[in-house]
Structure 1
């Protein structure tokens, strides 16, 4: 009766004994779907043949150029995605057990091998390797999710806001790539009643950029609470960015706003960032046509001009990162853009974040939004 291997495999046999190697190859030929087999007589030869196409390895632990588990360690290192079975003699059964403990999927005693046993052992090793890899991927995904959650909680904190005269709403959506980005925001009300808001975006994606965003946000909150909300704040954030970034080409855009205690006036700095959208007296507009200056981390000794914004009695202001205006819409390659965002708000009559986001297409980048609204009354 022929042995059964459920799929055609690419297999490497590492065996220095010609007779044993011939026996194993003959037994493999009896399988229903014989594997594509190559043979190495030493660890040196095996290193030349091990690659990403090898799915299973049968390795003898008594090679001329490797001492017992040394061969296994090298195989596991060179072919981490391959299933590995160890071949042992009757006297080395304990070595086979140690090999499984070291990372092999199973071991076989040469004197006990027949076609059926060999096929079953290979099939079992393949399934066990798949399970091991799936478990490893799950653990890595869980660790990444926990790290992302920790970073996101630091990037997107609870607002320090005492007044009930302002409605404060935030949203954060990850981009289609699923990689954590450096978008951050914060809102703080100081003892004089002023409301300070920031939203920013560190260029790039990944934990380094996210960690840098956390550092910038915490620094911003610290400076606001210390009363440093003028040009000194931006210069300090610029210095921090230059000191902490991993590469000199990394920059950060941001937008800051300080709303006066009477909530009728704001002073803003748009630092290479998309301009906020403002709804007041029924009119929808962007706060400024040109930014206050370039992003942080590009030019030294920059001055960022202040933008004075009258708000009035009733208004809605939306600060956002470029993930919102770069969302895909319409034909392939099309983006919403600032003008398209303004038109969407006009069509809705006001800014409803949930409704607005449902009209946004596929996100290529993370999207962060802070909305502040003051009702007359």
Structure 2
């Protein structure tokens, strides 16, 4: 063998990272030069497919390639204007391969966005193939870098959102047990579930768990807004029986659509720690953890926030006794499916799991997520296990209690 055939046989195939041929668009109005470019690529052993375009207009219709070899002297564009038109159209990496030999032409082309600049008369097959491979890999690295940057930005935004949705309880009473937990749904994104716990100067502790209807960034942002508004109202000393009405006004002002509503449970624990007022706004009834656990009374249930019907949110006075624990939660727990026919965990299933997991010692070795409260993490993991995987909806839980 001799000539190009011999070189093709001797040279090891150069392939991409996934061993697929590179698709290369040759933009050249001279047929002889176009054929020569293809022979150079073949002689270099580059695994590739070529597409030939005679003008910029034709090239713009064939940009679904890995690399563009672009001449700067074309019928419909000359010089850097040809490069700019291709780049403005969102082209893949461009290697300028032209007969123009101006001293600054190469620097200007690279400064304008080309990956490399080669002069036709001076180019060698191996140099051309190497330039193409490097251009493709550089673009892939650039794309990976941009994707990583976007991922870091999203992570930072998620962290800021988590701080708003998942605050640190503001409680000074060291005897009061306060535990909080949150599990994002299957897609890993925060939804509209939120919670908070704040102690007032007079010793009253207010606890809130809420859920904005829907799931997505708008709902998460609204949940963060409502959580912040709730804490502001509590710290400002707003009477407990006025908070939900004011929170509804914030919801109406901030929601993106008039049909968006929010369910919520609020518990106002009195300074004596033996009694509390329960406010239900269309939300699941909290559990009184015990042996066995039970649901708190729901005879004073109010409507969800944002629903245009009459009625408010009457307080239900609770006599908690000398020792107690109350679990507030969102419906992500109740809606966990526990059977192939779609049967949900529901309140009976949650009561069963609460009896099994909450009385256990915090350090019993049960597997929980990192940085998660060991008690509530055990409950959330038990629900996940019954569900058979990550929950579809978010789940927020708050456990408050007073020891004997």
TM-score by length of 2: 0.81
Q: Which residue in the other structure is 2:210 paired with?
A: 200
| Among 379, 383, 390, the residue aligned to 1:356 | 379
Q: Which runs of 5+ in 2 are unaligned?
A: 1-6, 361-374, 385-389
Is the contact between residue 100 and residue 107 of structure 1 (CA under 8 Å) also seen in structure 2? yes
Question: CA 1:71–1:153 in structure 2 vs 1: closer, same or farther (change >3 Å)?
Answer: farther
Q: Which residue in the other structure is 2:400 paired with?
A: 372
Q: Which residue in the other structure is 2:330 paired with?
A: 321
CA separation in 2, counterparts of 1:137 and 1:242? 37
CA separation in 2, counterparts of 1:122 and 1:333? 54
Is the contact between residue 87 and residue 96 of structure 1 (CA under 8 Å) also seen in structure 2? no
User: Which region of structure 1 is more displaced relative to structure 2, 202-211 or 309-318?
Assistant: 202-211
Distance apart, 1:248 and its partner CA: 3.5
Is the contact between residue 300 and residue 315 of structure 2 (CA under 8 Å) also seen in structure 1? no
Q: Which residue in the other structure is 1:11 paired with?
A: 24
Q: Which residue in the other structure is 1:60 paired with?
A: 71
CA separation in 1, counterparts of 2:259 and 2:114? 45
CA separation in 2, counterparts of 1:117 and 1:334? 65
CA separation in 1, counterparts of 2:335 and 2:85? 47
- Pair 1:26-2:35 in alignment: no
Is the contact between residue 273 and residue 291 of structure 1 (CA under 8 Å) also seen in structure 2? no
Distance apart, 1:159 and its partner CA: 1.8
Is the contact between residue 46 and residue 129 of structure 2 (CA under 8 Å) also seen in structure 1? no
User: Which region of structure 1 is more displaced relative to structure 2, 92-101 or 248-257?
Assistant: 92-101
Q: Which residue in the other structure is 1:134 paired with?
A: 144
- Per-residue CA distance 1:181-219 (angstroms, 9 max, x = gap): 232211111122211011222344444433322221111
Three-state SS of the structure 2 residue aligned to 1:19 is helix
Question: CA 1:103–1:206 in structure 2 vs 1: closer, same or farther (change >3 Å)?
Answer: farther
Distance apart, 1:368 and its partner CA: 2.1
Question: CA 1:79–1:284 in structure 2 vs 1: closer, same or farther (change >3 Å)?
Answer: same
Q: Which residue in the other structure is 2:262 paired with?
A: 252
Three-state SS of the structure 2 residue aligned to 1:49 is coil
Distance apart, 1:68 and its partner CA: 4.1
| Among 260, 274, 278, the residue aligned to 1:268 | 278
TM-score by length of 1: 0.86
Question: CA 1:154–1:69 in structure 2 vs 1: closer, same or farther (change >3 Å)?
Answer: farther
CA separation in 1, counterparts of 2:344 and 2:77? 59
Structure number with greater Rg is 2
| Among 215, 229, 233, the residue aligned to 1:223 | 233
Three-state SS of the structure 2 residue aligned to 1:91 is coil
Q: How many residues align?
A: 372
Distance apart, 1:127 and its partner CA: 1.5
Three-state SS of the structure 1 residue aligned to 2:335 is coil
Distance apart, 1:92 and its partner CA: 4.5
Q: CA RMSD in A?
A: 2.8
Is the contact between residue 275 and residue 286 of structure 1 (CA under 8 Å) also seen in structure 2? yes
Q: Which residue in the other structure is 1:310 paired with?
A: 319
Three-state SS of the structure 1 residue aligned to 2:118 is strand
Question: CA 1:167–1:41 in structure 2 vs 1: closer, same or farther (change >3 Å)?
Answer: same
| Among 46, 52, 64, the residue aligned to 2:59 | 46
